[in-house]
Amino acid sequence: DFGLDTTETEWEQVLDCWKLFSDHVNHLRFYKCKITERQIESFLCSCISLVSLTVDCCDRVDSDTDSDCDLINLVSVTHLEIKDTDNEYSPYSTDKSLIKLTNFMTNLVHLSLSLTGGDSVPEYDVEGRLLPRPKYNLVRRIVEPKFATIVSLCVDQNCISKDQLVCLLKVPDLRLTSLNLYQYGLVDDAVINAIATHQTEIVHLFINICNFPEPTILQRLLDKPRDIQLTHLDIDFGFLDDLSQPTLNIAKMCLRFVASRLLKLTFLRLSLCPLDENLFREITTKLINLVVLRVENCDISDDALTGLKNIEIDASRPPLRHLKRLTELDLSNCFKVTDVSLESAFTSCSLKKLSLRNCSQITDCGLVNLAAQPESFKRSIEELNLSGCYKVTDWGLSKLLPELKRLRVLNLKGCHEVTSKTLETVKTYCPKLRYLAELPDYVSPLQIIDDPLIVESLGKAIVE
99: closest CA among 153, 143, 155? 143
Q: 1-152: what fold?
A: 3.80.10
End-to-end CA distance of the chain: 15
Rounded Cα–Cα distance for residues 316 and 385 (Å)? 27
What pLDDT shows up at residue 186?
73
Give per-residue pLDDT as tens, 308-330: 555 444 545 678 888 999 999 99
Give the chain's residues under pLDDT 70: 1-6, 60-68, 85-89, 93, 116-137, 209-228, 238-247, 250, 308-317, 438-464
324: closest CA among 295, 296, 355, 287? 287
Interior angle at CA 42, CA 26 and CA 4, nearest 5: 90
What pLDDT shows up at residue 67?
62
For residue 460, the Cα-to-chain-centroid distance in whole angstroms is 26
| Cα atoms in the 13 Å half-sphere on the side-chain side of 298 | 26
What pLDDT shows up at residue 121?
45
What pLDDT shows up at residue 407?
93
How crowded is residue 444: how many other Cβ atoms within 10 Å of its Cβ?
8
Pairing of strands 52-56, 27-31: parallel
How crowded is residue 227: how many other Cβ atoms within 10 Å of its Cβ?
20
Rounded Cα–Cα distance for residues 14 and 21 (Å)? 12
- The dihedrals phi and psi of 353, each to the nearest 5 degrees, come to -130, 130
Print the SS3 string covering the chain: CCCCCCCHHHHHHHHHHHCCCHHHCCEEEEECCECCHHHHHHHHCCCCCCCEEEEECCECCCCCCCCCCCCHHHHHCCEEEEECCCCCCCCCCCHHHHHHHHCCCCCCCEEEEECCCCCCCCCECCCCCECCCCCCCHHHHHHHHHCCCCCEEEECCCCCCHHHHHHHHCCCCCCCCEEECCCCCCCCHHHHHHHHHHCCCCCEEEEEHHHCCCHHHHHHHHCCHHHHHCCEEEEECCCHHHCCHHHHHHHHHHHHHHHHHCCCCCEEEEECCCCCHHHHHHHHHHCCCCCEEEEECCCCCHHHHHCCCCCCCCCCCCHHHHCCCCCEEECCCCCCCCHHHHHHCCCCCCCCEEECCCCCCCCHHHHHHHHCCCHHHHHHCCEEECCCCCCCCHHHHHHHHHHCCCCCEEECCCCCCCCCHHHHHHHHHCCCCCEEECCCCCCCHHHHHHCHHHHHHHCCCEEC
Interhelix angle 215-222/245-261, nearest 10 degrees: 10
How crowded is residue 272: how many other Cβ atoms within 10 Å of its Cβ?
21
As to burial, measured by CB atoms within 10 angstroms (0-12 exposed, 13-18 middle, 19+ buried), residue 283 is: buried
Rounded Cα–Cα distance for residues 357 and 365 (Å)? 17
What pLDDT shows up at residue 452?
45
- The dihedrals phi and psi of 323, each to the nearest 5 degrees, come to -90, 75
Rounded Cα–Cα distance for residues 275 and 295 (Å)? 9
- Write down the pTM of the prediction: 0.77
Alpha-carbon distances of 365 from 343, 344, 391, 393, rounded to whole Å: 9, 13, 10, 10
